[in-house]
Amino acid sequence: MAAFFCKQTNCVRHKKEYSKDISKQIGGFIMTKETEKELRERLSKQEFEVTQHAATEAPFTGKYDDFYKKGIYVDIVSGEALFSSAEKYDAGCGWPSFSKPIPGSKIAELADNSLPGHQRVEVRSGEANSHLGHVFPDGPQDQGGLRYCINSASLKFIAEKEMAAAGYKDYLNVL
């Protein structure tokens, strides 16, 4: 199932289960995430638990579930651009839902067998390896058929009028 989603979305493919290694090599440079202490100081408890320990916020409680302003959603840990408001829709599931990530994003999709009897596909950010949520094959068929079910606690919204000043002007074309 994960291979199907990766083929559909051009995501980063991972053959192994998630590793808690805090560094990765990108273009010859070693990129290191903030320490656990730094993240705990900067993020709320819920943001930390969701992004670092794959917790799930309760349905219909996240600030972006019923939120439809124009802009982009970025990883709350790294600021990596993930989703556009143009791809957001109301799936009625209680979490923000998107039909696809922003083109060129490095979202990773991994097999998630953490719930007995349920095989899911976990979604993680490419830069910080933050847990974002899950992707399911029950989205709008006219938009590719996928539903990226994402925790609000893993996201930060950047409004269209703030995108250029915040360093996201290259993403104005995806709105």
Q: Which residues carry out catalysis?
A: 149
Q: d(Cα 104, Cα 59) in Å, to the nearest integer?
A: 29
Write the single-letter amino acid at 26.
I
What is the residue whose two structure tokens read 């556009």?
A: 84
Distance CA 130, CA 78 (A): 9
In whole angstroms, what is the distance from residue 139 CA to residue 143 CA? 8
Q: How many CB atoms lie within 10 A of CB 87?
A: 22
| Angle, vertex CA 155, rays to CA 61 and CA 144, nearest 5 | 90
- Name the token pair of 121: 């596909």
